[in-house]
Homo-oligomer: A and B are copies of this chain.
Amino acid sequence: MNRSELGGVRLQGVFENLSDQQVDAVLAAAIVRRHEPGEVVFEQGEEASWFFILLFGRLRVTQVTAEGQQVIVRMVNPGDLFGIAKALNRTDYPGTATAVSASAALVWPMSVWSDFVAQYPGFAQGAMETMGIRLQEAHTRMRELATEEVERRVAHAVLRLGNQAGKKEKDGIRIDFPISKQDIAEMTGTTLHTVSRILTAWENGGLVVSGRQKLLLTDPHRLLLIGDGVVPGLL
């Protein structure tokens, strides 16, 4: 087994440039934590005492506005480094991480962060890479929110979900964790009502099959066309 993997999970490059002994040392400093669906891994504003790599399962990272509206910042997928407040120069977590399916993560005390950065060049590099990816995703979503109408944003959102957490089935791509209309609304800056209307229109058009917390993309290609505005949209 390649040491930059663990149980078949690619660890987002963080261990890429480490020797086997180094990987062992890093892993020795970690503990494993399991979380059931709905469990909170860490909470917005809480002191950032730990950072994590997700081994399996799925997390949702949210922020709440001053008025109490929730926004889903991103989903955390297996192999992802998360809870890295230190990389943002913060002492508290800027968001709340909640398990949406049964999950397990490697956990390190934040106190070892600086050591890891100092001792393992590949670690700092991996962390930077993670941030680069997130920054580009954030810019993409900013652009979408600023310029696209709701239906296109929803199309892009479900396609992203399909890429990150899609399980290929014979009749389409199934989103691999329970996802509600409310969730999709919080990813796209709209309401669950509008999401519901859009998805029923898509279902009638044969683009998706959606049920209670379930979503199957039956025609990703046409969804992409809608997302990119090449094609009018069904609502």
Contacts and interface: CB of A to CB of B under 8 A. Distances in A.
- Please classify the interface of chain A as helix (H, G, I), strand (E, B), loop, or mixed, using the class held by over half of its residues: helix
A147 B87 contact: no
Interface stretch (A25-33, A51-59, A122-130, A174-182): A122-130
Contact of A229 (B66, B89, B125, B138): B66
Interface of A: 63, 65-67, 69, 71, 73, 87-90, 94, 117-118, 121, 124-125, 127-129, 131-136, 138-139, 141-143, 145-147, 186, 188-189, 228-229
A94 B139 CA distance: 10
A73 B142 contact: yes
Contacts of A138: 135, 138-139, 142
Contact of A147 (B71, B89, B133): B71
A35 to B, nearest CB: 23
Contacts of A188: 146
B89 A129 contact: yes
